Amino acid sequence: MYVEKYRQSNRVREMKYAIRDLVVLANKLEKEGKKIIRLNIGDPLRYDYETPAEMIEAMYDASKNGKNYYADSLGELELREEISKHEKSKHGISTSADDVIFTSGVSEAIYFLLAAFTDVGEEILLPAPTYPAYSSLATVFQNNVKYYNCVEENNWLPDPDDIRLKISEKTRLMVLINPNNPTGAIYDEKVLREIRDIAGENNTVIVSDEIYDDLVLEGERPKGMASIAKDVPTIVFNGFSKSFLAPGWRAGYAYRWDPEDYIADAWEGMKKIARARLSATTPIEYGVLAGLRSERSYLAPLRKKLLSRRDAVAKVLEKSDLFSLVHPKAAFYAFPGIDISRTTFESDEDFVVSLLKEEGVLTVYGSGFGKSPVTKDHFRIVYLAPEEILTEAMEKTVNFAEKHIKN
């Protein structure tokens, strides 16, 4: 009786999360004695990176000094004020502490957003390729997801014509990830303005995930969407997992840009949910506060290190014409194409699973990044690992693919 009664809810059953699913197979293989090179998860702390000492000290001091109570549900006021200042200095955006919600990572902010802004069956527009948490959580919230294409031949920029085709008055949210995971693309001001205009014409809220905007390796930091949005309501996400090197702290935030107060009610809904979960972790809030106030002198060397790691990946992949790679300009992901039709593999998923089983190199298949023709025949590599490991993994990848060229 119990077994029949207690099955996963349908909405969770349908949820897929390629990045984590492959890990189960990798763990099994490792248990059986296979050496696995993990290039699958965007967590710098799994490699040779450290959380800045001043953040750790401030977190520890806060806890030692009694800051172990529930924090303000929206985040400690001092911290939200510092976040406003930080956005002002980075992007020239004036946002008040009232329009900031501190969350347990951007992941939690995505939950809050979908819960407060969408009802079952309502439409949201995601990029293809997308960061999979958006599509997984949209499944849980039973949204009707549509994908707009980003175009490899155009440096993976979003295609405004495709957005025009997919968006309508019914579209409640349009998500942008800039700089992008998985492509490493940076969107220029021209395309951002176009996207703003299209969203405005359709009364759609823009959601701009800017979690990688401090990890620009080549070229300029993209403009913050809120600085371009004019009167188009925009929710911006950012956090401390990537450029502040504290993914395990689960710290992030959302802020609202909405000069005409169009979305005040839905934003209030996000605050309501934040209150219902009581608070994020208090000592962590003081740790990230210290991070925001510090000079962040580690950032320049960090970007340099990532750039040479990116180049190590590109150098090996480019030896084979089976692969194509638009050089990522930011973050720590590469999203190469593989010409599956010239190989014996059935799909990108088949390639990635076989590569893991045979060579022990763990990546993620492209079609896990959203249902669209642009994601297939690709795979994602995380290039956080030291150069020698990346070089070894890429050589294995290239040799493996070449061995499987059709006669």
Ligand X SMILES: Cc1ncc(COP(=O)(O)O)c(C=O)c1O
Phi-psi region of 219 (alpha: psi -120 to 50; beta: other; left: phi over 0): left
Q: Least distance to ligand X from the beta carbon of 106, Å?
A: 4
Specify the residue, 205 or 284, whose C-beta has the smaller distance to ligand X: 284
Please identify, using beta-carbon distances, which residue of 345 and 369 lies nearer to ligand X: 369
CB of 209 to ligand X, least distance (A): 5
Q: How many C-alpha atoms does 156 have within 13 Å on its Cβ side?
A: 30
- Please, which residue, 42 or 233, has the CB nearer to ligand X? 42
Enumerate binding residues for ligand X (CB under 6 A).
42, 105-107, 131, 177, 181, 209, 211, 239, 241, 247, 252
Pick the closer one to ligand X by CB: 91 or 404. 91
What CA–CA distance (Å, rounded) separates 286 from 79?
7
CA distance linking residue 400 with residue 297, whole number of Å: 40
Tokens standing for 198?
């299209």
In the complex, residue closest to ligand X by CB: 105
CA–CA dist 300, 327 (Å, integer): 20
- Minimum separation from the CB atom of position 219 to ligand X (A): 19
| DSSP 3-state of 347 | coil
* Nearer Cβ to ligand X (102/345): 102
**Closest distance to ligand X from the beta carbon of 238 (Å):** 8
Residues 6+ apart with CB under 8 A from 366: 129, 182, 335, 348, 375, 376, 377, 378, 379, 380
Both tokens assigned to 315: 């150098």
Nearest CB to ligand X, comparing residues 253 and 257: 253
CB atoms inside a 10 Å sphere around CB 275: 12
Name the minimum Å distance from CB 284 to ligand X: 12
Residue (42 or 337) nearer to ligand X, CB: 42
Question: How far apart are CB 368 and ligand X at their closest, in Å?
Answer: 13
The dihedral over CA atoms of 314, 132, 358, 320, expressed in degrees to the nearest 10, equals: -20
- Least separation, in Å, of the C-beta of 210 and ligand X? 9
- Would strands 205-209 and 234-239 be described as parallel, antiparallel, or unpaired? parallel
Q: Closest distance between ligand X and the C-beta of residue 120, in Å?
A: 24
Measured CA to CA, the distance from residue 239 to residue 225 in angstroms comes to 16
SS3 147: strand
Are 217 and 225 in contact, with CB atoms under 8 Å apart?
no
Residue 37 β-bridge partners:
361
Q: Closer to ligand X at the Cβ: 286 or 333?
A: 333
Q: What residues contact residue 189 under an 8 Å CB cut-off, 6+ apart?
A: 223, 228
Least separation in angstroms between residue 112's CB and ligand X is 12
Judged by CB, which is closer to ligand X: 176, or 199?
Answer: 176
CB 101 within 8 A of CB 326: no
Task: Please say which residue, 364 or 390, places its beta carbon nearer to ligand X.
Answer: 364
Query: What is the smallest separation between the CB atom of 31 and ligand X, expressed in angstroms?
Result: 26
| E strand or H helix that includes residue 365 | strand 364-365
Contact 211, 241 (CB under 8 A): yes
